[in-house]
Each structure stands twice: as structure tokens, then as C-alpha cells.
């Protein structure tokens, strides 16, 4: 199986390439994007770095070379700036996404497309409408939210992160909806009191503000690449692992004409299944708010 990473020279693109290549699950990972010299530099460097671990070939590519890639990871983005919400990136990144779309004639027609460019729910829907593909092959990368929820639960209760199962759904942004009633620890239901649920939500909100206030002009490249590599592994291995991804909805939770973070069972065709959780009234109204916000942003796009 072959993977193309558009924006392969960026923080997420290059780190995801390396982490995924280390696993040896793709035959080839093709890096493409704007800066040819940097892309070639990464490919040459990774060839040596990977020798002890993996037979995956990491190569430089042009759009013309990616028609044999069954998976495409879009990790492009305009330079980062300090924002209060990821939706502010919409106007920065629409030009960048349109440039990718101009080259989409080179995409394999059956490829699974995973997009990290923010705001991902909006761009995943935009790409879905423009490319007119099977919605189950159009995934927005939002798995970080669930990883951070697990981190916040581990912090709050001082328990082992690796034994926590927890998912966020909704918007990849402030209107993410942590499914606190579905948290499991060591395979068993883990009850969290209402007061603590709000504290956990505050830990998540505070994290984003603290991170942005550093004004470091970089994204959460490490976290994103660890989780993106997990998504790409689940696809390549057809594992059926459940990971949060944004997917275009057709009636799930009562919504359509929007892409929203959901628990998704992943495999080589993309989403094998979208899991629809039972929501309480609070979660339902939080999801309504998230959908309204994403739909409002979609109205700014030429679809």
C-alpha cells in the first residue's frame, strides 16, 4: 500500500511520515508539497534513519506521481498565527486547499483522503463536495481531541493514560463534545461526577489557550503526528480500530450537509462504520451548537 503526504515538508507532514514509516506498514510514502529541496532533504535523511527499523521507502514526489497511492494525507497549511479559535484559519487555508484541489486530477479515484488542515470539519466537507467521492473515504483528522480527553482524565485522576478509553465527538475546536458517560478504564465503565466533568472540560479549554498564548507559530505537531500515524496504521492494516475522525454525515445524529467528528471504525476503505453514540440532553445541545457553527462556516465557501 502507498501513502502520499501533501505538505510532506511541514511539521505534521514530515513527522507523520517518519512515525508511519517506522511501523513498516506502507510500502512507500511519497512526500510532496511546495519546497522541493526540503522535501528531497527529508526523503534522503529518512532513507538512512529508517534503515534499522523498516523497509518502507520514503520518496520525493510530484502530484503526477501519486496516482498509485491508496491513501492521501493532506497536511498543508498557511503559516501558523496566534488564534482564539481554529475557525480563524479558514480564510488563511482556503487558498492552500484550493491549490491542492487544482491538482486532484492526479489523485487515485479510490484513495482514502485524510485531511488535517484546519478548520478540518469545514475543509473535509468542502473536499467531499468538490471531489464527489464516497463519503466513507473522506476523513477529517480530529483524533487529537480524544487523545487530549484521555490525557485530561489521566491528569485529573492520576491514572494510567494507556488504560483509558475515551472519545470526543463534534467540532474539532471549542465545540468538541467529550463523551464523559462513555469513559472506560481498564475495559470497565469509569464514572465521573458532574462537577469533575466540567473540571475536565476546563483542563482541555485551558490547554488550548495556554498553547496559543505562547505564540510560538507552530501547531501541536508531535501530538498530531502520533495520532495521524495511528489513523494511517488503522487504514493500512484494515484493523477496524475505533478512532475519532470527522466524516460527512447522512442522517447520523439527525444531521446531513456537514462533516462532524464521530467515532469511526477504520479500515482500508476508510470508515468501515460510523458509530452513533447515545447522547444525553446536554450532549445533544452541545452537538447542535457545533453543527450550527460548522454549517455557518461552510456558507463562506463556494460549494
| 20, 59, 70, 219: residue in contact with ligand NAD (rule CB under 6 A) | 219
Kindly state the DSSP code that residue 300 receives in the 8-state scheme: T
d(CA 171, CA 116): 13
The number of C-alpha atoms within 13 Å of 73 and in the hemisphere containing its C-beta is 32
Q: If you count them, how many residues does the chain have?
A: 303
| 4, 13, 58, 274: residue in contact with ligand NAD (rule CB under 6 A) | 13
The three grid cell numbers given for residue 19, joined into one nine-digit string? 512515525
Active-site residue, 48 included: no
Check the annotation: does 11 bind a ligand: yes
Closer Cβ to ligand NAD, 158 or 213, answer by number: 213
Task: Examine residue 40 and tell whether it contacts ligand NAD (CB under 6 A).
Answer: no
Closer Cβ to ligand NAD, 167 or 190, answer by number: 167
Task: Examine residue 170 and tell whether it contacts ligand NAD (CB under 6 A).
Answer: no
Closer Cβ to ligand NAD, 140 or 267, answer by number: 140
Show the site string, 243-282: x = touches ligand NAD by CB under 6 A, - = not: ----------------------------------------
d(CA 203, CA 110): 40
Task: Examine residue 34 and tell whether it contacts ligand NAD (CB under 6 A).
Answer: yes
Check the annotation: does 10 bind a ligand: yes
The three grid cell numbers given for residue 201, joined into one nine-digit string? 472540560
| 129, 221, 257, 273: residue in contact with ligand NAD (rule CB under 6 A) | 221
From 45-53, 60-68, 112-120, 287-295, span contacting ligand NAD (CB under 6 A): 112-120
d(CA 253, CA 260): 10
Cβ neighbours of residue 208 closer than 8 Å, sequence gap 6 or more: 174
d(CA 171, CA 87): 10
Check the annotation: does 93 bind a ligand: yes
Task: Examine residue 220 and tell whether it contacts ligand NAD (CB under 6 A).
Answer: yes
Task: Examine residue 226 and tell whether it contacts ligand NAD (CB under 6 A).
Answer: no
| 59, 93, 124, 229: residue in contact with ligand NAD (rule CB under 6 A) | 93
Q: What is the 3-state secondary structure (H, E, C) of 114-144?
A: EECCCCHHHHHHHHHHHHCCCHHHEEEECHH
d(CA 136, CA 96): 23
* N-term to C-term CA, the chain: 32
Check the annotation: does 8 bind a ligand: yes
Task: Examine residue 9 and tell whether it contacts ligand NAD (CB under 6 A).
Answer: yes
Task: Examine residue 84 and tell whether it contacts ligand NAD (CB under 6 A).
Answer: no
Task: Examine residue 173 and tell whether it contacts ligand NAD (CB under 6 A).
Answer: no
Task: Examine residue 124 and tell whether it contacts ligand NAD (CB under 6 A).
Answer: no
| 35, 55, 184, 284: residue in contact with ligand NAD (rule CB under 6 A) | 35
Task: Examine residue 146 and tell whether it contacts ligand NAD (CB under 6 A).
Answer: no
Whether 71 contacts 3, CB under 8 Å: yes
Identify each DSSP E strand in the chain by its residue range: 2-6, 28-32, 57-60, 71-74, 112-115, 138-141, 164-165, 168-170, 176-178, 184-185, 188-189, 242-250, 256-267, 270-275
Task: Examine residue 212 and tell whether it contacts ligand NAD (CB under 6 A).
Answer: no
Check the annotation: does 7 bind a ligand: yes
d(CA 146, CA 244): 7
Binding residues for NAD(+): 7-13, 93
Binding residues vs ligand NAD (CB under 6 A): 6-7, 9-13, 33-35, 75-77, 79-80, 89, 93, 96, 99, 116-118, 120, 141-142, 144, 172, 219-221, 224
Amino acid at each position: 500500500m502507498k501513502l502520499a503526504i501533501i505538505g510532506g515538508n511541514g511539521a505534521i507532514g514530515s513527522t507523520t511520515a517518519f512515525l508511519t514509516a517506522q511501523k513498516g506498514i506502507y510500502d512507500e510514502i511519497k512526500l510532496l508539497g511546495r519546497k522541493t529541496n526540503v522535501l528531497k532533504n527529508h526523503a534522503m535523511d529518512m532513507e538512512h534513519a529508517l534503515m534499522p527499523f523498516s523497509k518502507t521507502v520514503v520518496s520525493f514526489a510530484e502530484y503526477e506521481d501519486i496516482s498509485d497511492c491508496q491513501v492521501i494525507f493532506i497536511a498543508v497549511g498557511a503559516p501558523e498565527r496566534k488564534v482564539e479559535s481554529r475557525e480563524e484559519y479558514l480564510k488563511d487555508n482556503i487558498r492552500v486547499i484550493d491549490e491542492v484541489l487544482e491538482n486532484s486530477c492526479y489523485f487515485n479515484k479510490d484513495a482514502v483522503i485524510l485531511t488535517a488542515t484546519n478548520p478540518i470539519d469545514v475543509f473535509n466537507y468542502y473536499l467531499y463536495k468538490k471531489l464527489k467521492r464516497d463519503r466513507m473515504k473522506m476523513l477529517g483528522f480530529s483524533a487529537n481531541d480524544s487523545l487530549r480527553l484521555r490525557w485530561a482524565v489521566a491528569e485529573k485522576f492520576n491514572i494510567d493514560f494507556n488504560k483509558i478509553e475515551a472519545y470526543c465527538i463534534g467540532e474539532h475546536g471549542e465545540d468538541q463534545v467529550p463523551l464523559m458517560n462513555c469513559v472506560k478504564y481498564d475495559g470497565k465503565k469509569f464514572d465521573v461526577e458532574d462537577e469533575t466533568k466540567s473540571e475536565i472540560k476546563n483542563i482541555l479549554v485551558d490547554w488550548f489557550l495556554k498553547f496559543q498564548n505562547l505564540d510560538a507559530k507552530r501547531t501541536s505537531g508531535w501530538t498530531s503526528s502520533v495520532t495521524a500515524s495511528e489513523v494511517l496504521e488503522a487504514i493500512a492494516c484494515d484493523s477496524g480500530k475505533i478512532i475519532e475522525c470527522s466524516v460527512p454525515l447522512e442522517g447520523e445524529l439527525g444531521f446531513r450537509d456537514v462533516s462532524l467528528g464521530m467515532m469511526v471504525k477504520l479500515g482500508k476503505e476508510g470508515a468501515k462504520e460510523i458509530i452513533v453514540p447515545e447522547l444525553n440532553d446536554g450532549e445533544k445541545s452541545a452537538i447542535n451548537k457545533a453543527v450550527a457553527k460548522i454549517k455557518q462556516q461552510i456558507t463562506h465557501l463556494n460549494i
